[in-house]
Chains A and B, each alone.
Chain A
Amino acid sequence: KNSQPLKDEL
């Protein structure tokens, strides 16, 4: 699974 940070969130 892709554990990239969810930086598109607020």
Chain B
Amino acid sequence: NIFRIAGDLSHLVSIFILINTINVKKSAQGISLKTNILYAVVFVTRYVDLLYSYTSLYNTLMKIFFISSSIYTIVMLKKYSKNIQQYNDDFKIEYLIAPSFVLGLIFNHGFKFSEILWSFSLWLESVSILPQLFMLQKSGESQLLTTHYIFALGLYRALYIPNWIYRYFAEGRFDKLAITTGIIQTLVYSDFFYVYYQKVIKNIGFSLP
């Protein structure tokens, strides 16, 4: 359906903006390495099913793309973040990983290793942007491209919400776990979305309070 395609495209766009920004500027300035490490963990743990199940060519190609681009991003960010004197990427990611794992143990579609990993990846994804938002807040202002990247990334999960509503009515399917974590993720972004709307859409520079 249209919401899901739009969500996936938004996700792709966010990655292209990110990689392009890093490569053009040859700098990791303003971009959180920790957030990108978390996303790599999210993709690897969620897409282990590549090894034993097949949905569609689209699905497989997208999964391979998301895993490989997230690892590529980490390599590039590592390379360029060394040159930055004040790199405010100091969010404690263990505070995100450990609770996500516990939530994965409690809420899952069956107490199996693969299901726990899948649930863990959903919980972790919902909060993975926090180091990036934290960094943005600390530095006070940011490059326009970085905010477009964060916006496109947030939009992807937000668009999945109407997709889930559509699927509930069209296919009678709903996944409480995916929907709950998707809503949490969108809520985590809500303050950013508001500021983005105020500053970028209304075209007046960008800075977080």
Residues of A within 8 A of B (CB): 1-10
- Interface on chain B toward A: helix, strand, loop, or mixed SS? helix
The answer to whether A10 touches B173 (Cβ under 8 A) is no
List chain B residues, Cβ under 8 A from A7.
Answer: 49, 53, 55, 118
The answer to whether A1 touches B62 (Cβ under 8 A) is no
A1 to chain B, nearest CB (A): 5
Q: Please choose the segment from B28-36, B132-140, B175-183, B193-201 that sits at the chain A interface, where 4 or more of its residues have CB less than 8 A away.
A: B175-183
Contact code string B87-128 (vs A, CB < 8 Å = 1, else 0): 000000000000000000000010000000010000000000
Q: A5-B109, A8-B56 are in contact. List 12 more A-B contacts (CB 8 A).
A: A1-B173, A2-B171, A2-B172, A2-B174, A4-B175, A6-B164, A6-B175, A7-B53, A7-B55, A7-B118, A10-B8, A10-B11
The answer to whether B59 touches A10 (Cβ under 8 A) is yes
Contact code string B47-68 (vs A, CB < 8 Å = 1, else 0): 0010001011001001100100
Whether, in the assembled complex, B16 has its beta carbon less than 8 Å from a beta carbon of chain A, the answer is no
Task: Provide the bound-state CA to CA distance between A6 and B177, in Å.
Answer: 9
Residue of A whose beta carbon sits closest to that of B164: A6
- Interface on chain A toward B: helix, strand, loop, or mixed SS? loop
- Contact count A vs B, C-beta below 8 Å: 42
The answer to whether B178 touches A6 (Cβ under 8 A) is yes
List chain B residues, Cβ under 8 A from A9.
Answer: 4, 160, 163, 178
Task: Provide the bound-state CA to CA distance between A3 and B129, in Å.
Answer: 28
Whether, in the assembled complex, B26 has its beta carbon less than 8 Å from a beta carbon of chain A, the answer is no
Whether, in the assembled complex, B167 has its beta carbon less than 8 Å from a beta carbon of chain A, the answer is yes
Task: Provide the bound-state CA to CA distance between A7 and B108, in Å.
Answer: 13
List chain B residues, Cβ under 8 A from A8.
Answer: 55-56, 59
